[in-house]
Chains A and B, each alone.
Chain A
Amino acid sequence: MKNLAVETKQATLTLALIETKNLTFTYPGGTKPAVGDVTISVEKGDFVILTGPSGCGKTTLCRCFNGLIPHFYGGKLEGDITVAGSNVTECSIHEFARHVGMVFQNPENQLFALSVEKDVAFGLENSGVPREEMRERVEWALQMTSIEELRERAPHELSGGQQQRVALACVLAMQPEVMVFDEPTSFLDPLGAQKIFEVINELNKKLGITVILVEHRLDLASRYANHVIVMDEGKVVLDGEPRRVFDSEKARLIGVGIPKATRLCQVLRENGVKLSEVPINSEEASQLLRKVLVHD
């Protein structure tokens, strides 16, 4: 039995794309750590939702994944963090850019060029990719995000949702193994948000890109995830399978905005209704309730 446990652990270790151990970071001039003693493991192909109340440290944690912390921000980083096999403190940000792509909250402030095409090529130009290969990769990225018809447009002419898809294509063109999204739908309306989540999901399921999505809008995003991490005050308080995390008492106490479908079933169970599963979207909830209602 013991051997099996060790073997399984080793197997998991070799699959982990991002691993942190007791990661603690304090911003320069900060009085207390923004993230404290964080130990997580993200496997290849995971779709992780990272959530928690404002100020819990999720944005800070994200920035550790591609080297912005500690190289861009300075500060004190303790503990271990390995991304795609390399230690973050030892490699520069541009070395990580090939493995980890990041899409930020404000679509406007990620687009620099005067045409979409040129923006998508930006990362490749920086990396010195030869022109022919660049053209192919730009074309591919535009297709994957369904924005081919926008290729000659200037960023200011685009809607917020379109801009975010461009930002996605810009990062995708670099063909990273991991893509990190820091609240990418904050400025988008519900339909725009849904479109972005669908594209992200395709990248995860079809291309095998590992996704880390920082989000508050759990009702729209939770259906795609297989791994949820909840942070509060710099520490990881919940880490596991979505249904277990959303249904936990701790999530409610911290004030995580769990999907309403989950909440409804929670309150029904509190009133004695026997529900066998935990739903995280409306389809699952309606199926579950149908069983109970028809049965009666």
Chain B
Amino acid sequence: MIEVTDLSFTYPNGIEALKGVSIAIRNGDFVAIMGQNGAGKTTLVKHFNGLLKPAKGEVLVDGVNTRDVSVANLARKVGFVFQNPDHQLFCETVEDEVAFALKNFGYARNIISRRVNWALNLLGLTQYRKTSPFMLSGGERKRVALASVLAWNPKIVILDEPTIGQDYQQKEKLRQFITQLRAQKKTVVIVTHDVEFVAECNPRVVLMTEGKIVADGRADKILTDYELVTKASLVPPQVTQIFMKLSDLGLPSDVIDVHEARKILLDVLEGS
């Protein structure tokens, strides 16, 4: 469980990135933190694994104050997958890359080997085991980065802008993957501004703008609130836009998903 109370943070260059943010993320939650670039989303999640320490306020991870422990310590519970995999990859083989964190955490050799096999298998990378990570394509490198974080089986997984530069099929695979993580009872936090992707996942949505949380609730309630979404410099999902334009015909306004939209429209058409 992550409890954030009245968190404020200012970067050394004077930018006030967080202004009194409070949020609670329970075990097993699936949260999408959304907002425009510069709203403070990444700053907020960097507090969850201790990369940043609060200037004011508190961040508790499973009851432990992040000010009291190191990043390496918190990292065991909180896995952080960065946006650009090239900021992590440095080993000679994919195998070594995935084992890196496990070695840092001091796992025994046989456990490391078991975990590495499991992670490679999970992300379909077994055939690249002995390949240099630099030889792989962009999408494959992303998977290596993901595997290297999941290898130590953290309870909480944070994905920072996982959909940037991804095509539709890659996003589909990501969505399915998140579903798998949730089936393993992991807490998943994604930082994103990809409204359509979030609309397909339907998680809890936390909207941020200018260092503050302006909304926190279900995706179909928040992404359909035109004013809120515009305030956060986002665009509502296309399906929502269509239904908004047809609201005078008595159609519901909180639709974000194509399949739900289809059901509703078919019902209306059959009914009449």
Taking Cβ atoms with an 8 Å cutoff, the residues of A that contact B are 52-55, 105, 159-161, 183, 186-192, 194, 216, 219-220, 255-257, 259-261, 263-264, 267-268, 271, 273, 281-283, 285-286, 289-290, 292-294, 296
3 smallest CB-CB distances across A and B, nearest first, come from A257-B168, A286-B245, A282-B241
Question: CB of B193 within 8 A of chain A?
Answer: yes
Q: List 23 A-B contacts (CB under 8 A).
A: A52-B167, A54-B137, A55-B139, A105-B165, A159-B37, A160-B37, A186-B164, A189-B37, A191-B36, A216-B166, A260-B237, A264-B239, A264-B258, A267-B262, A268-B265, A271-B262, A273-B265, A273-B266, A283-B245, A286-B246, A289-B242, A293-B249, A296-B272
0 or 1 for each of B248-270: is its CB under 8 Å from A? (1 = yes): 01000000001101100110110
Which A residues are in CB contact (< 8 Å) with B166? 54, 216
Q: Which residue of the partner chain A has the closest CB to B172?
A: A255
The chain B residue with its CB closest to the CB of A287 is: B245
A258 to chain B, nearest CB (A): 8
Q: A283 to B244, alpha carbons, bound, how many Å?
A: 10
- What does the 1/0 interface line of B32-43 toward A look like (CB < 8 Å)? 000011100000
Q: In the complex, A294→B165 CA distance in Å? A: 40
Flag whether B138 is at the interface (Cβ < 8 A).
yes
Contact status B245-A256, CB under 8 Å: no
Q: Taking the complex as formed, is B153 at the interface, i.e. its CB lies under 8 A from any CB of chain A?
A: no
Q: Nearest chain-A residue to B229 (Cβ)?
A: A190
CA of A282 to CA of B37, assembled, Å: 25
User: B242 contacts which of A267, A271, A286 (Cβ < 8 Å)?
Assistant: A286
The residue on A at minimum CB distance from B256 is A260
In the complex, the answer to whether B265 meets A55 with C-beta atoms within 8 Å is no
Q: Which residue of B lies closest to A294 (CB)?
A: B249
Majority DSSP secondary structure for residues of B touching A: helix
Of A220, A260, A296, which contacts B269 at CB under 8 A? A296
Please, which residues of chain B bring their CB within 8 A of the CB of A296?
Answer: 269, 272
Tell me whether A186 and B258 are in contact (CB under 8 A): no
Q: In the complex, which residue of chain B has the Cβ closest to the Cβ of A51?
A: B167
> Which residue of chain B lies nearest to A187 when distances are taken between CB atoms in the complex?
B164
Among residues of A, the one whose C-beta sits closest to the C-beta of B239 is A260
> Contacts A54-B139, A290-B249, A294-B249; is A189 near B193 (CB within 8 Å)?
yes
Give complex CA distance A120, B190 in Å. 37
**Is the CB of B238 closer than 8 A to any CB of chain A?**
yes
Decide: B258 and A257 in contact? CB cutoff 8 A: no
Which residues of B in the span 101-143 have a Cβ within 8 Å of any Cβ on A?
137-139
Closest B residue to A186 by CB, please name it: B165
Whether B165 lies near A259 (C-beta < 8 A) is: no
At the interface, yes or no: B196 with Cβ under 8 Å from chain A?
yes
Is A260's CB under 8 angstroms from B36's CB? no
- Chain B's nearest CB lies how many Å from the CB of A268? 6
Shortest A196–chain B CB gap in Å is 13
User: Are A264 and B262 neighbours in the complex by a CB distance under 8 Å?
Assistant: yes
Which chain B residue shows the least CB distance to A282? B241
Given contacts A189-B37, A190-B195, contact A259 B168 (CB under 8 A): no
When each residue 165-205 of chain B gets 1 if its CB lies under 8 Å from chain A and 0 otherwise, what string results? Answer: 11111111000000000000000000001011000000000
Residues of B with C-beta under 8 A to A160: 37
Task: Say yes or no: is B93 at the interface (Cβ < 8 Å to chain A).
Answer: no
A53/B246 in contact, CB under 8 A: no
Say yes or no for B21: interface residue by CB 8 A criterion: no
CB distance from A140 to the nearest CB of B (A): 29
B235 within 8 A of A: yes
Measured between beta carbons, the chain B residues less than 8 angstroms from A186 are 164-165
CA distance A259 to B165 in the complex (A): 17
| In contact, B167 and A261 (Cβ under 8 angstroms) | no
